[in-house]
Amino acid sequence: MNINVKNNVYWVGKVDWELRRFHGSEYSTHRGSTYNSYLVREEKTALIDTVWAPYAKEYVRALEKTIDLKKIDFIIANHGEVDHSGALPAIVHRLPDTPIYCTAAGVKSLKGQYHGDWNFRVVKTGERLSLGSKELVFIEAPMLHWPDSMFCYLTGDNILFSNDAFGQHYATERLFNDLVDQDELYAESIKYYANILTPFSPLVVKKIEEVLALNLPLDMICTSHGVIWRDNPAQVVHRYLEWAKNYRENQITIIYDTMWNATRAMAEAIAAGIRAADGEVVIKLYNVSNTDKNDIITEVFKSKAILVGSPTVNRGVMSSLAGLLEEIRGLGFKEKKAATFGTYGWSGESVKMLEGMLKNAGFEVKEGGLRVMWNPDDAASEQCRDFGGRLAGEFVR
Ligand code: FEO
């Protein structure tokens, strides 16, 4: 399948409606994904990125219906991760002499994964490749989100091929941002940023400022996942600048796990206390064991503060929370506050342990989390509401 993007630019990728897990099982893709590959057919023809390996054969078959492969003059590998390079071995098998343009780190990544001594051409920021009357301009984008990541820009058509940046895991047959459900698009875009790009936020700001300083006219952003931004493409750039600067909404998220509902009862009483103290703040509660972790991380990303609760089990915290907090640690959220709570029957270590985990994850932790023995009675429930009310005052400023 090919879809005309603009003038001589065609989408030749794959829409993956089935995908429900990405990066192994690390990232949930409730709405599937796309692997966007592009063909630029000027006097010379360039193929930009490919698709994930399981779709390599059908990709090549479909591409052959669009173009005689021998007419592809250049291959551009903006990023070596297998969701974009997975069909490269099949393409190189057919076109062994066709040059592959990528960064120096891209060569390492592609050689490391496919062990092929391919016809690589290393490019750096500012280098240009003539396609005839138009050119591709290369822009290195290291750590957005791999060392090898790169953008390229097509002059004349004013298209930025941004690879993973500005993407979403969002299967759609409608391809363009103005044709899809805007709420779904926003939800998948912010989830993608929160779960994948958060650790690289300072680099996101720097790279966007660098690209804006080039004063390149921008008609479209062709990402490698999800929609092509053609209607006001700058909107997603401005979103990224907002998200990259320690983004927070007026929200407190309460995350907990519970064995026999005692810690759940605490969570709900704390939420009631926050609500009584502050009628404006958005409060959301999630049981980690029955909620998708990437969706919770997106809510953490949006929060000013989080409260984390676990009963004590085996002198520790419930494993669901330990796993989630490890992922949160890796994302490196900044300027977020936290407090902890939990029930216990005898030893009661969980609250203190959660504090340590949250400090280790970079949160500003309000010490002295709330512990309740056994099930909260009326007095303990009142304590929870007071706790919530006090935190509302401290956390929502
Ligand atoms: Fe979509 Fe980093 O690969």
Q: What structural domains and CATH numbers belong to the chain? A: 3-244 (3.60.15.10), 252-396 (3.40.50.360)
Burial class from Cβ neighbours inside 10 Å (0-12, 13-18, 19+) for residue 337 reads buried
Look up residue 308 and give its DSSP letter: E
pLDDT score of 1? 77
Catalytic-labelled residue, pool 16, 79, 240, 299: 79
Pick from 349, 364, 360: nearest CA to 394? 364
Task: Name the residue type at position 246.
Answer: N
Among 16, 42, 83, 257, the active-site one is 83
Do residues 320 and 287 lie in contact, with contact meaning Cβ atoms separated by under 8 Å? no
In short, whether 383's Cβ falls inside 6 Å of ligand 1 is no
Dihedral in degrees, nearest 10, Cα atoms 29, 34, 35, 39: -170
In the residue annotation, 55 being an active-site residue is answered as no
Q: What is the mean pLDDT of residues 53-80?
A: 98
Residue 225 known to be catalytic? yes
Alpha helices by DSSP H, listed for the chain, are: 56-66, 82-85, 88-94, 104-114, 182-192, 201-213, 234-244, 262-277, 293-302, 319-331, 350-360, 378-395
How confident is the model over 276-287, as a mean pLDDT?
Answer: 97
pLDDT at 397 over 90: no
Residue 252, pLDDT above cutoff 80: yes
Determine the distance from the C-alpha atom of residue 282 to the mean position of all C-alpha atoms in its chain, rounded to a whole number: 23
Look up 292 and say whether it is catalytic: no
Burial (0-12, 13-18, 19+ Cβ within 10 Å), 392: buried
Question: With a 6 A CB cut-off, is 16 part of the ligand 1 pocket?
Answer: no
Indicate if the alpha-carbon torsion angle 317, 320, 324, 329 is positive or negative. positive
Task: Give residue 188 CA to ligand 1 midpoint distance, Å.
Answer: 15
155-176 per-position pLDDT tens digit:
999 999 999 999 999 999 999 9
Distance 263 CA to ligand 1 centre (A): 38
Q: Could you tell me if the CB of 169 is within 6 A of ligand 1? A: no
pLDDT score for 8 = 98
Q: In 3D, which of 263, 243, 247 has the Cα closest to residue 255? A: 263
Annotation says 115 is catalytic = no
Active site residue 238: no
Ligand 1 centre to CA of 113 (Å) is: 14
The contacts of residue 251 (CB under 8 Å, 6+ apart) are 281, 282, 283, 284, 299, 302, 303, 304
Q: Per-residue pLDDT tens for 308-366?
A: 999 999 999 999 999 999 999 999 999 999 999 999 999 999 999 999 999 999 999 99
Q: Quick one: which of 161, 166, 182 has its CA closest to 6?
A: 161
Mean confidence (pLDDT) of the chain = 97
Task: Please list, residue by residue across 199-210, b when 16 or more beta carbons sit within 10 angstroms of its beta carbon and e when fewer do.
Answer: ebbebbeebbee
What is the separation of C-alpha 259 from the centre of its chain, rounded to a whole number of angstroms?
Answer: 31
* Closest-lying ligand 1 atom to the alpha carbon of residue 82: 3
Centre of ligand 1 to C-alpha 224, Å, is 8
CA-nearest residue for atom 3, ligand 1, is 81
- Let me know if 192 is a catalytic residue: yes
Q: pLDDT above 70 covers what percent of the chain?
A: 100
> Among the atoms of ligand 1, which is closest to the Cα of residue 225?
1
| CA–centroid distance, residue 181 to ligand 1 (Å) | 23
**Residue 190 burial (CB < 10 Å; 0-12/13-18/19+)?**
middle
Query: Which residue's alpha carbon is at the smallest distance from atom 2 of ligand 1?
Result: 81
Q: Would you call 81 a catalytic residue per the annotation?
A: yes
Contact 303, 333 (CB under 8 A): no
pTM of the model: 0.96
Confidence of residue 283 (pLDDT cuts 50, 70, 90): very high
Residue nearest to atom 1 of ligand 1 (CA): 164
Taking only the tens place, the pLDDT of each residue in 30-52 is: 999 999 999 999 999 999 999 99
Q: Decide: 148 in ligand 1 pocket, CB within 6 A.
A: no
Mean predicted confidence (pLDDT) in 45-62: 98
pLDDT at 286 over 80: yes
Contact 26, 55 (CB under 8 A): no
The residue from 55, 192, 286, 344 that is catalytic is: 192
Quick one: 147 exposed, middle or buried, by C-beta within 10 A (0-12, 13-18, 19+)?
middle
- Identify the residue whose tokens are 């002295």: 368
